[in-house]
Chains A and B, each alone.
Chain A
Amino acid sequence: MEPLLGFEDEVMNVGEDKEMSSSSSSSNGYKLVPWLSWDEWDFVRESLFSSSSDKVASALRRISTWRSRGCLPVVIDVTASIIEIQQKDPYYRSRDNEYQAANVLDSDQLLAMLYCMAIMRLVNCVVEKTRRKTEASIAEAANAIGIPRKLIDVRHEGSHRDLPALQVVRDCSDKALDWLQAYYWEPQKNQIPLQRDGAADIRREIKSKLQELAFCLKMKQNPQLGPSLMKGKRSNKKWTKCLKNLVKLYSTLSSEIVSVLLEFLLNAFDDSSNLEFPNDSHVVKNVQTSLDDWKPVITKFSNKEPELLLSLLKAVLHMIENEEAKKYETGGQSLTSTEYGMGTYRMEHLSYLFAWLVGLLEGLKSLRRTNSSAERNISNSFMVELLRKCLLLSATGNKLLVDSSLHLAQLVGNLSITEKLRKLSLICLSHLDGSEENSSLSRCEDMQEDIPKAAKKLEFVKRYKMKRKVVMTADGDVGNRNRWVLAKSWNSCPIGMLPHDLGSSGRLPILDCDDRKQSGPQPVEKNEIMELNQYGGKREASCDIQLLDNSSIKKMKETVEVCQLNTDGISLFDDSIGHLMIGGVWKKVSEQELETIKSRVRILI
């Protein structure tokens, strides 16, 4: 472990790199801050100036955490100090009836000292950054940035003469807070980009960009449609520029782009379904043409951002899932016939879209043979996940989905799975042909025969997972003794964030920690739990053993009995691993029992 400081010699022009020499900023205007997001900063700002002392206390706690990170701007530090002193001052606290005697300081002398110190720090520190040492005195520089004269006087008096009277410094503290609001808090708030209502603006922007790109590409394909002025080269430049903008946006707003694109694609169906639809092939052709408009867009985009297609596929599966869930939730019979019809058509559209996207993916894969192995691994594991989900959904006998899953399996390249699926789809096909009648009786029969099929699929999935579990327990035995383990799969993501399944943009972590009860993590899991209930075996896309235990336990907690954990101290997850609440008592459950319970829940549906 004795490398030389190679950077000093080989590094790219350390001396010329101006960004290195300045303290915590860089040439492109980024600065190190102690907060995770502007939402956090805004929350602190609101709470700090609110009239509820609880909110103020929570804001002060957060600011003291920021202090521990070491890059807190001094204006925030000073604001927090003044407000903290005011919270201890009976003059300000006598207004609300909480905390009568406990938290206030009685000594006038002490309070005056505290206020005075805070004001001195305000004048000195805030001014310090704005002046050059030799040019002006502190008083002059303070005047220059608009600090009220009274504060400057108090600072002078407090450091050279008697301590000013308490009422004087109290008054000054109010003035100081007003000034700080006007000097820092308000202007900074106005400078934060992307406010909450900005989300609509983003969508509009993305929509317009995508439409522009589609238009440009269409022009490129059919030059005779557009005006003759648009020559070949210029149109090339236009759409490449368009594409570049979109790719830049994609790195930060990937989920937005995916959802907007999905909207456009689904609109293609709606447009064509507004025509009469007795003739199926007619519909299909119309849909095909409108989808074809988007084909070049997606292919060109995917060439730059390969994960776009995968994200789209995931989103479509998600929507199919929701449709299924809706159907089962409300019960097939209670829907009116039109709603039911709509639901079915929507399902068909979605399945068709899925098949079309898989077709695109195949086309893309055949072009690109030069993936790096890491990339291929990541996208392969993701596709296996997609395949699994697709299989689960196609249990309802959706022919298109079954076909798509076959294609996906081929893409993944697993021959055994492909073979099995081919056989399965044959069974499925022969079966579906017989069940076009709308009698409820035959539907029941279908269901009865669907169940063993579903059971076979379940068996297959279980076996697959068992295989992986065996592999993992093999090194998990050694692993159990190691607390420090290298993360098994890792997607690149910024420092401070957690990785996404796809892409390198990462997601913001949830850092709240409730050390009294485990109520903290639960609200986030509730969404997971709700969906779990509706569709039995759905789980997060990770096959980590620990997560397996945790998520199924969370599911169980909701379905069997809801009970709060009463843990004292800071241990977050120790107690829950390996235990299930059965009949009101926490019992230790083994893996096998867990599996049986899970499969029982699934077949009920």
Chain B
Amino acid sequence: MAAYMPQTENPSPAIYIPREWSDAADSIAYDSNTSPPPIAFICGAKNCGKTTFSRHLVNVLLQRYKKVAYLDTDVGQPEFTAPGFLSLTVVDTLTPDLTIPCLKTPKRCYFFGDVSSKRDPTAYLKYITTLYDYYRKEYYMFNESESPGRTELPLIVNTPGWVKGIGYDILVDMLKYITPTHVVKINISFEKKNLPAGAFWLDNFEGVDVNLIEISSARQDSFNRSVLVQKDARLLRDLRIMAYFRQCFPSDLNITIIKELAQALAAYPPYQVPISSIKIRHLYCQVPRSEIFYSLNATIVGLAISSDASENLPHCVGLGIVRGIDTLKGLLYVITPVPPGILEKVDLFLQGFIQIPTCLLQVQGCMSPYMSANVLPTS
């Protein structure tokens, strides 16, 4: 982590948008032509405020454009989906409170299967470039004669906070492919943790027209050092997964604490689907054929439609928890908030390394067998 004043703040501090930030957002929204709309790329170190800035930018852009497209490439803490997804979402409502994200249904998403792009950089880039191509095709640069009535949307690309190593290389590749009109680089006071100055992704001979906006992180202490918000990433991911599965139940059901959600998940009737109609694939491991149920039981899978694949990448519609497998009846029991109409098309389960939050497996009197006591502590 950078050298900041370690803060143990509560999860929802008051948001402070400095003047610098609002100026930057206004310049992106208003200083450019309406067509083609701006493509803004936001990068910077971990926890420097990229997501907060992007939310603010969404709000500002929505004042000028009716809808905004959002390409989320942070697979560990995505904005509108559960962790593990790379998605393109179209936003048309203002975010009222910049601290609380909300879940939306993306126009297209892919299940990456892990919370860090390091697991497979090539696949990660492939998904992102495919999503960007989709955006270009659907929402950008139309010929008026060919496709009347379709509006162009601006795009905001959010990134994870990589500044060196594999993450940096991925960032550069992304920038080269997407060629945004505006790049917003958020710097923090600890220089070593910043991305290189200037248009670091461009080779020298490229004179592409790009606006590089460098701003500093929002808060600074009396010594002008950046104050960053400490976040427990794992906790946030678990909360997001729980919020995602909270959608399985009707919203008037009184579930406000985690224990109630866990109990509801154990008691609610799941969907059942014949094993023979589902293909199961692990994205990163070779699971032996005979062991496939041992690997699948009580895990989170990405629900995908194999027939809908573009460039061999199946489209994903959501997450599901495989809560039981009955080999005698040949049924899989799955809990998922995806509506039944879309669910009917799902025929592929993608396994990854997204874990079920352990608090959902621990229910009084209904403890999952995978939560074991008597485990030797090795630390």
Contacts and interface: CB of A to CB of B under 8 A. Distances in A.
A73 B263 CA distance: 28
Given A21-B235, A130-B378, A513-B327, A5 B256 contact: no
A521 B232 contact: no
A371 interface: no
A73 B286 CA distance: 19
Interface in A519-542: 520-521, 524-525
A76 to B, nearest CB: 10
Given A9-B100, A36-B294, A29 B373 contact: yes
B337 interface: yes
Contact of A572 (B240, B275, B363): B275
B258 A11 contact: yes
Contact of B372 (A10, A38, A521): A38
Contacts of B375: 31, 33, 188
A62 B102 contact: no
A26 B246 CA distance: 22
B289 interface: yes
Contact of B371 (A1, A31, A66, A505): A31
Contact of A1 (B104, B232, B298, B323): B104
A532 B298 CA distance: 33
Contacts of A110: none
Interface string B241-283: 0110011000100001111000101111111111111000010
A33 B367 CA distance: 13
B231 to A, nearest CB: 12
A29 B267 CA distance: 24
Given A3-B246, A572-B327, A484 B358 contact: no
A493 B105 CA distance: 30
B141 interface: no
A494 B359 contact: no
Interface in A8-55: 8-12, 14-15, 19-21, 23-26, 28-38
B330 A573 contact: yes
A487 to B, nearest CB: 4
B369 A1 contact: no
Contacts of A208: none
Contact of B12 (A1, A8, A184, A505): A8
Given A2-B104, A6-B256, A510-B327, A495 B265 contact: yes
Interface string B282-322: 10111111111111011100000000000000000000010
A496 B256 CA distance: 24
A33 to B, nearest CB: 5
A521 B331 CA distance: 14
Interface stretch (B121-129, B175-183, B349-357): B349-357
Interface size class of B (residues with CB under 8 A): 35 or more
A486 interface: yes
A71 B371 CA distance: 11
Contacts of A73: 378
B19 to A, nearest CB: 28
A129 B370 contact: no
- SS of A interface (majority): loop
Contacts of A499: 324
B365 interface: yes
B328 A525 contact: yes
A287 B367 CA distance: 40
A460 B235 CA distance: 58
B31 interface: no
Interface stretch (B43-51, B146-154, B202-210, B339-347): B339-347
Contacts of A11: 239, 256-258
Given A11-B258, A26-B358, A64 B337 contact: no
Contacts of A70: 353, 355
Contacts of B267: 490, 492, 504
B327 A5 contact: no
A68 B285 contact: yes
B370 A33 contact: yes
Interface residues of A, number: 96
Nearest to A570: B289
B322 to A, nearest CB: 9
Interface string B192-216: 0000000000000000000000000
A521 B327 contact: yes
A188 B353 contact: no
B222 interface: no
B333 interface: yes
Interface in B57-110: 100-105
Given A3-B246, A33-B370, A61-B291, A509 B238 contact: no
Given A30-B373, A33-B375, A495 B359 contact: no
A509 B324 contact: yes
A14 B299 contact: no
B1 interface: no
Contact of A75 (B100, B298, B378): B378
A464 interface: no
Given A5-B100, A509-B326, A509-B327, 14 more contacts: A3-B247, A12-B258, A15-B11, A26-B358, A36-B369, A65-B288, A486-B272, A487-B271, A490-B268, A504-B266, A504-B365, A513-B291, A547-B329, A571-B276
24 contacts: A1-B103, A2-B103, A6-B243, A9-B100, A10-B256, A11-B257, A14-B239, A26-B359, A30-B367, A31-B375, A32-B358, A32-B370, A36-B370, A64-B288, A65-B287, A192-B374, A484-B340, A490-B268, A495-B321, A496-B361, A511-B294, A521-B328, A547-B329, A550-B329
Interface of A: 1-12, 14-15, 19-21, 23-26, 28-38, 61-62, 64-71, 73-75, 126, 129-130, 184, 187-188, 191-193, 251, 482-490, 492-499, 504-506, 508-515, 520-521, 524-525, 544, 546-547, 550, 570-574
Q: What 8 A-B pairs are tightest by C-beta distance, nearest first?
A: A496-B298, A490-B269, A492-B267, A511-B293, A129-B379, A65-B291, A68-B285, A31-B375
